[in-house]
Chains A and B, each alone.
Chain A
Amino acid sequence: QVKLLQSGAALVKPGDSVKMSCKASGYTFTDYIIHWVKQSHGKSLEWIGYINPYSGGTNYNEKFKSKATLTVDKSSSTAYMEFSRLTSEDSAIYYCARGPFDYWGQGVMVTVSS
């Protein structure tokens, strides 16, 4: 069955970067794009961007363009998102989802604190 398994929670300091992973299984990784979504505590969802695992092509929400970097490793069917120059506003849960959002990872809780 289709699964997206994300990496564990992260506690990072302001100004640092964090890189999280999303390992896909149960389908052909290069057949579907991978989206990334942010959910701040108790709030709604924000689309960060997507990556096409086949071509490596990306599309970012302008809001996150200078913050997020999406990559993939086709050999391990894993997508990655690196978030840089972290501030308290970046504390949230980050999800990966297979396009068309029919399967989601379990989420990664990122806490930014000194």
Chain B
Amino acid sequence: DIQMTQSPASLSASLGETVTIECLASEDIYSNLAWYQQKPGKSPQLLIYDASSLQDGVPSRFSGSESGTQYSLEINSLQSEDAATYFCQQHHDYPYTFGAGTKLELK
């Protein structure tokens, strides 16, 4: 199975700041990576697919990038509603696997 190592496990940031969350794949996943946002008591919501494509309706302050097997989610100009847990997921090979999650707290 492909392992997705996500970091950091948690972070705290202020409104208006920019944060970056990373996922390292254990092998090449050819940009087949998605990012999700999950708020407490809610289902995950797709933010980014194919490493850098923004899902319809997702604010443009969210962006995804890649460098080799390292994938990043950047959130610019943090808003209060961005407080959530974020997960990466590889959809290159079955079984699909997820990162452990990053809990983002707003100061």
Contacts and interface: CB of A to CB of B under 8 A. Distances in A.
Given A44-B87, A45-B87, A45-B89, A102 B46 contact: yes
Given A45-B87, A106-B43, A63 B95 contact: yes
Interface in B54-107: 55, 87, 89, 91, 94-101
A113 interface: no
Interface residues of A, number: 18
Interface in A29-58: 35, 43-47
B84 to A, nearest CB: 14
Interface range on chain B (Cβ under 8 Å from partner):
10 to 19
Contact of A47 (B43, B96, B100): B96
Interface of A: 35, 43-47, 59, 61-63, 95, 100-102, 104-107
28 contacts: A43-B100, A44-B87, A44-B99, A44-B100, A45-B44, A45-B89, A45-B98, A46-B98, A47-B94, A47-B96, A47-B98, A59-B94, A61-B94, A62-B95, A95-B43, A95-B44, A100-B34, A100-B46, A100-B49, A101-B34, A101-B36, A101-B44, A101-B89, A101-B91, A102-B55, A104-B43, A104-B44, A105-B43
B46 A61 contact: no
